[in-house]
Each structure stands twice: as structure tokens, then as C-alpha cells.
């Protein structure tokens, strides 16, 4: 139950992070909250660009913030996403699954059992492991699997 409460808090942190999304082109706002092994939470949002390919996803924003502050070990990430008109208290129509590039970035720093929570609200979310969302993956040579 305690774990479930912590997961809900992580989803809530992702919902809050989504408020900062800069997405004038797609109008699809995404928020992420990344939990480091030491308990610190790093929030991220998507940041779009007039040159569309320069866009950064919410998940990568969270990871790059954390890694740039020296963090290298993580336990979980929560992700929420939905159209611009939806706000704080709303239930998002769909789960926002991480894109392939973000999954690969996770693969660089996370163990196969890293938890990925995708939510429609703090009461409605699903949990996956990185291994489930990125099977048979290519990773760094220092991979935890070989340890």
C-alpha cells in the first residue's frame, strides 16, 4: 500500500511537470517524474522547436536533468500526456507511452527491472518494466545484466 502511495505521488509529480510543457506545435503536453535511487525526483516536460526535429521529450528532459546533476541510478519514471486543453484535475484520454528514443535513453542508465508508470490520473496507471517495453535491446557494455 505504501508503494502504491509513492507511485501515486510520482504520477502527481508528472502531472505537475506537464504544466511547464512547451508544445505550441503538437499541442500535446507531456510530463515526467524520474525517481533516482537516492529518493530525489527529477521532473521533465516536452520542449518543442520550430524545427520539429529539435524537440525534446519529457522523459529525456527528466533524465538529462538528473544525469547532468551527477545521478546515474534510477528506480522508476512516471509519465502522463494529453492534449493542451486538459489540465491538472482531468483524466487523460490515453496512457502516454515513452517513445523509442526515450526507451533507449532509459536503457543507458537503468536496469531491466526499472519501473515505467504510465498514467491517465493518479488513480489510473499501469506499470511496466524497461525490459517489457524494450526487449532484446542494445545497451552499454557495463550493463548491469553482466554484473
| Residues in touch with ligand THU (CB under 6 A) | 23, 26, 28, 30, 46, 48, 55, 57-59, 98-99, 102
Say how far apart CA 98 and CA 105 lie, in whole Å: 10
If we measure between CA atoms, which residue out of 73, 132, 134 comes closest to residue 103?
Answer: 134
User: Catalytic annotation on 59?
Assistant: yes
Q: How many CB atoms sit inside 10 A of residue 93's CB?
A: 10
Question: Under a CB-based contact definition with an 8 Å cutoff, are residues 31 and 141 in contact?
Answer: no
Cβ closest to ligand THU, residue 91 vs residue 99: 99
- Closest contact distance (angstroms) between CB of 4 and ligand THU is 24
Please report, to the nearest 10 degrees, the dihedral formed by the alpha carbons of residues 31, 60, 94, 51 taken in order: 90
- Closest contact distance (angstroms) between CB of 64 and ligand THU is 13
Catalytic residue, from 9, 16, 59, 132: name it: 59
- Closest contact distance (angstroms) between CB of 142 and ligand THU is 25
Catalytic annotation, residues: 59
Amino acid at each position: 500500500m505504501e508503494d502504491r502511495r509513492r507511485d501515486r505521488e510520482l504520477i502527481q509529480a508528472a502531472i505537475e511537470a506537464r504544466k511547464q510543457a512547451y508544445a505550441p506545435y503538437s499541442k500535446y503536453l507531456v510530463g515526467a517524474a524520474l525517481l533516482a535511487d537516492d529518493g530525489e525526483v527529477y521532473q521533465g516536460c516536452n520542449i518543442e522547436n520550430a524545427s520539429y526535429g529539435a524537440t525534446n521529450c519529457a522523459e529525456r528532459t527528466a533524465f538529462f536533468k538528473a544525469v547532468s546533476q551527477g545521478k546515474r541510478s534510477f528506480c522508476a519514471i512516471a509519465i502522463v500526456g494529453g492534449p493542451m486543453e486538459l489540465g491538472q484535475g482531468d483524466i487523460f484520454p490515453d496512457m502516454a507511452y515513452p517513445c523509442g528514443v526515450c526507451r533507449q535513453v532509459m536503457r543507458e542508465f537503468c536496469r531491466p527491472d526499472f519501473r515505467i508508470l504510465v498514467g491517465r490520473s493518479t488513480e489510473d496507471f499501469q506499470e511496466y518494466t524497461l525490459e517489457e517495453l524494450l526487449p532484446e535491446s542494445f545497451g552499454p557494455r557495463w550493463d548491469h545484466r553482466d554484473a
